[in-house]
Amino acid sequence: MRNYKQYKIEGPNSIWQMYRTISFFKVAYQFIIIECSRICPSVKVKHFLYTKCLKMKLGKHTSFAYKAMPDLMFPENITIGDNCIIGYNATLLCHEYLVDEYRIGEINIGNHVLIGANAIILPGVTIGDHAKVGAGCVVTKDVPAGALCYGNPMQIK
């Protein structure tokens, strides 16, 4: 079960209204940091930018591969343990803007976790220690420690 807060809205869709929930300048700043980091070849520089500039909570030796995408709106809601790999073009979403509501949730990833290429982690998800998320998996619920999850729809083994 995902753990997120849900906010109903009235009027135009939630993306049209997003700057009522977050500052345009905060998003612009985070956009610059994230886009520069996505193409940066140094995992040490990415780690520094994500922890110091975006306030993400990253453990020692956690690495983001080329083009990996942390949440643009609420990166401070991402916590990742030690010695993890976030694969090529993986996306970590702490928000979902829908037509008549929006949702915000934390992402908590344990130690020694592998997130495969092009995986998508949705808001409010916890992934346990030593878990593996297969390439292209859409993680829609919590993943227990040591588990392998894969596919869309997600399956846990």
Task: Give this prediction's pTM.
Answer: 0.94
Positions of the chain with pLDDT under 50: none
What pLDDT, on the 0 to 100 scale, is given for residue 1?
78
Q: What is the pLDDT of residues 103-149, one digit of tens each?
A: 999 999 999 999 999 999 999 999 999 999 999 999 999 999 999 99
Instruction: State the sign of the Cα–Cα–Cα–Cα dihedral 23, 27, 69, 109.
Output: negative
Ramachandran angles phi, psi of 25, nearest 5°: -70, -35
What is the C-alpha separation between 69 and 80, in angstroms, rounded?
Answer: 14
CA angle 66, 139, 36 (to 5 degrees): 25
The token pair that represents 32 in the structure block: 């610059």
- Round to whole Å and give the CA distance between 85 and 134: 12
**CB atoms closer than 10 angstroms to residue 125:** 24
Active site residues: 95
